[in-house]
Amino acid sequence: MQKEELTRYWVDASDVDYRAMNNLYTSKDYVWALFLGHLIIEKLLKGLAVKNGVTSVIKIHDLNKLAKTAKLEIDDPMKDLFDILTSFNIEARYPDYKKEFYEKCTSEFSSDYITKIKELRLWLLEQLKK
């Protein structure tokens, strides 16, 4: 795949997850909505990495490492947000963390992070247009 085609692949894949996240959030399946929220950001960062010259996207889920790979300069609050969103990937998948994460994912908690994910998604899409 050419660079533009591979970048588009990651953006398109994130769009599919974005629709699913919204459906899960609407149905109050907050844990999986937040899990997909992490994947949306992960895929956009991978698309940005490709756009910025990375030829082989690393197979990791750590958003801060992906941001660095994408040559994205972010401040400390953004790094903190990326750490929290990365935790959604782990906490939703592994039994050790699942119960605690389910209890944490109230309507208010989930609404707050879904909003942050949507804002971050729009910002990353803007970065991809530059």
The model scores a pTM over 0.75: yes
Tens digits of residue pLDDT in 24-64: 999 999 999 999 999 999 999 999 999 999 988 778 999 99
At residue 95, does pLDDT exceed 80?
no
- Determine the average pLDDT of the residues in 6-33: 97
3-class DSSP state of 6: helix
Q: How many Å apart are CA 10 and CA 27, to the nearest integer?
A: 26
Any idea what the CATH number is for the domain that residue 80 is in? 1.20.120.330
What pLDDT is recorded for position 83? 97
| Cα separation values, 42 from 64, 100, 103, 106, 128, Å | 10, 23, 24, 23, 13
Residues 66-78: pLDDT tens digits?
999 999 999 999 9
Instruction: Give the chain's domain count.
Output: 1
